[in-house]
Amino acid sequence: MLIKLTDEQNAWLEKARSLGKDVLAPRAAEVDRTGRYPREGMHALRDAGLWGMRASKEYGGGGADLLSTVLVVEELAKSCPSTAMCFKMHIEASEMIARVHTPAQVEKFVKPLARGEALYTVAGGETSGKKGDDWHPAGAFSAAEILPDAYRLGGVRKSYVTSAGEATHYFLMVQAGADAPKGALTPMIVERDKVEWKKDGEWNGVGMRGNGSSPVYFTGDVPKENRLGNEHEGGKALGVVMMPVVALTYAAAYLGIGSGAYEIASAEATKQYPSGARRLDNPVNKRRMGQMSAQIEAARSLLHLAAKAGDEGRVKAPIPYIQAKVMASETSVAVTSELMTMFGGTAFAARLPFERYFRDARAGMVMGLANDEAYPMIANMLFPPQRG
């Protein structure tokens, strides 16, 4: 790590490191094999004060900055990517209420968040159907009926909701009213116990198997006091308030998959076999390990610098955040694929956990702001489309 950390940032890092090693890592293989939700791990994070780490100290939270947040997420992902992703979705989903709130929302949402009493997740996209047969482009959202004091959800189906049913609070985005301006979104917090919800099947992903990312139907009235920001202005809020944390914690989670696999590879490659040989002594493998270390450090340095610049208020457009996301996810895909080759049959036969990291890494290419969507977004910010 090239960046110099403050004592507080180091303390967050050390806390995450020991939780990862003592609680998450021992359960990661079993969570992946069975696809069960990593409840013990998530509860351990809560008990250590991580659920409330982004809430401000004024309300009893940890007051963690962006850099501390990404250090924590990377460290957790090294040990169990599934748990790190559930945690990342909690941080992302609670970011807006942690930053922008009415006085009533401080009591209702922010203080409980700070105390670790609420688990959040994102119920955002409605992009794909059961078999992709009713696919519609990202950005198409269901409409909620506007009542005098509430928004009525009429069985809105959200296609991938991490921590589905486990989370107590859902950051949910809809169109407010059938005639809402095109693309105008209204985010709100849906409290699990105040609406009807139903999972549409169990999550059985190729990777991130402990995420519980099932589709969920939501039906019921959500009080207007649960709305985040102004009606129809969710898109703007997402860009300004949430994007740093959304993109950077994605980056951190994906980076942790690559760096976690690399740490295991470092230990395995330097083990001496009965013949006296080590995997690292093969010149091709030595080159691989050198190259992967450079790839990881490059992605990590961009991530840390983007987070630090964000903390210092020096980022005017979210370009570095999105760049960090694509670099981290592609690094992790590259590193884990390389390790599958380097560890040969042992890796392929799943005697070492590289194939799990390899499968988990694949999510980074498509999840939230798919890379194919992220690159044009970066280019559009660098080269705004010409008008007329």
Ligand X SMILES: Cc1cc2nc3c(=O)[nH]c(=O)nc-3n(C[C@H](O)[C@H](O)[C@H](O)COP(=O)(O)OP(=O)(O)OC[C@H]3O[C@@H](n4cnc5c(N)ncnc54)[C@H](O)[C@@H]3O)c2cc1C
Binding site for ligand X (CB under 6 A): 89, 121-125, 127-128, 135, 138, 160-162, 205, 208, 211, 213, 363, 366-368, 370, 372-373
Residue number, 60 or 125, with CB nearest to ligand X: 125
Structure token pair of residue 56: 């401000």
At its nearest, how many Å lie between ligand X and the CB of residue 351? Answer: 25
At its nearest, how many Å lie between ligand X and the CB of residue 87? Answer: 12
Residue whose structure tokens are 């799990």: 356
> In angstroms, rounded to a whole number, what is the distance separating the alpha carbons of residues 17 and 48?
12
Residue number, 208 or 242, with CB nearest to ligand X: 208
Residues in contact with 369: Cβ distance below 8 Å, sequence separation at least 6, in sequence order? 246, 247, 250, 322, 325, 377
Residue number, 13 or 251, with CB nearest to ligand X: 251
> In angstroms, rounded to a whole number, what is the distance separating the alpha carbons of residues 339 and 347?
8
At its nearest, how many Å lie between ligand X and the CB of residue 121? Answer: 5
> In angstroms, rounded to a whole number, what is the distance separating the alpha carbons of residues 345 and 352?
10
Residues in contact with 231: Cβ distance below 8 Å, sequence separation at least 6, in sequence order? 176, 186
> In angstroms, rounded to a whole number, what is the distance separating the alpha carbons of residues 356 and 329?
15
> Would you say 76 and 24 are in contact if contact means Cβ atoms under 8 Å apart?
yes
Residue number, 151 or 203, with CB nearest to ligand X: 203
At its nearest, how many Å lie between ligand X and the CB of residue 4? Answer: 34
Structure token pair of residue 63: 């007051």
Length of the chain: 388
Residue number, 122 or 347, with CB nearest to ligand X: 122
The single-letter DSSP state of residue 358 is: H
Residues in contact with 366: Cβ distance below 8 Å, sequence separation at least 6, in sequence order? none
At its nearest, how many Å lie between ligand X and the CB of residue 278? Answer: 36
Residue number, 157 or 278, with CB nearest to ligand X: 157
At its nearest, how many Å lie between ligand X and the CB of residue 208? Answer: 4
Structure token pair of residue 305: 């610098």
Per DSSP, which regions of the chain are E strands?
120-123, 143-146, 150-161, 169-176, 186-191, 196-199, 214-223
> In angstroms, rounded to a whole number, what is the distance separating the alpha carbons of residues 120 and 192?
10
What are the distances in angstroms from CA 125 to CA 151, 156, 183, 370? Answer: 18, 11, 13, 12
At its nearest, how many Å lie between ligand X and the CB of residue 366? Answer: 4
At its nearest, how many Å lie between ligand X and the CB of residue 166? Answer: 11
Residue number, 6 or 219, with CB nearest to ligand X: 219
Residue number, 244 or 368, with CB nearest to ligand X: 368
At its nearest, how many Å lie between ligand X and the CB of residue 261? Answer: 18
> In angstroms, rounded to a whole number, what is the distance separating the alpha carbons of residues 295 and 338?
12
Residue number, 78 or 158, with CB nearest to ligand X: 158
